[in-house]
Amino acid sequence: MNTGTGSRTYPLVEFAAATVSRQPIPIRSIAMWPFLVALLRGLDCAIYSISALVFLALGAFSIIALPGAAVVGVLSLAAGVISGGLVIVRYVHVYRALQIGDAVEAEIVRSAVGLVRLTGTPWGDLINGTAVRGSYRIRGVESIVDYYLQQRWARSLKPGMKIWVISLNGRPALLAPFHSES
């Protein structure tokens, strides 16, 4: 599979591509531990999960060891819960999409690398400062759909290349590089 430069920084898309290539029709069997490892090895969820652990530990320490800093401890606990909640939401959303979502082959129509937008997404390679905007067409459907990805693998997308579009309830949930198990 050729996923482009920097694809190792976002292993979730490689996991998704391999899963839908082997099992293109829902309901897919997804091993929980390899999925969790792929999710947590991505820069975005790694940052959120480590932040959650640090904030929760700092909050517990502040409340127990420094009784005068209880407000700081509670705020730190709240930040830890929010950060951990982002990981849980991502886990549930992508797991459901991979398990029961429709996976269709699409073709890139347009792709351009630029700066991230201020109202970007919390998912992807958040540090590199670039994002890919473009559009794709699903085979057999005439409409063109726009996409926005903050993932390094997407920088290698060119018009004519194929991708997987994994949709849940009619909305794209995840885009992944296309490869077939042949």
Report residue 74 as tokens. 């509670």
pLDDT tens-digit map of 129-166: 888 999 999 988 888 999 988 888 888 899 999 999 99
pLDDT at 151 (0 to 100): 83
Q: How far is 149 from 130, CA to CA, in rounded Å?
A: 9
Which residue shows structure tokens 């531990």?
Answer: 33
Confidence check: pLDDT of 7 > 70:
no
Longest distance between any two alpha carbons in the chain, whole Å: 64
**Across the strands, what pairs with 132?**
113, 149
- How confident is residue 44, by pLDDT bands cut at 50, 70 and 90? confident
pLDDT at 176 (0 to 100): 87
Q: How far is 121 from 129, CA to CA, in rounded Å?
A: 12
Report residue 148 as tokens. 């926005």
Say if strands 162-168 and 102-115 run parallel, antiparallel, or are unpaired: antiparallel
pLDDT tens-digit map of 9-23: 578 888 998 999 899
The residues, any chain, with a CB within 8 Å of residue 22's CB and separated by 6 or more, are 181
pLDDT tens-digit map of 70-106: 899 999 999 999 999 999 999 999 999 999 988 889 9
Could you state, in order of their start, the residue ranges of all structural domains in the chain? 103-177
Q: How far is 119 from 145, CA to CA, in rounded Å?
A: 19
Q: How far is 89 from 96, CA to CA, in rounded Å?
A: 11
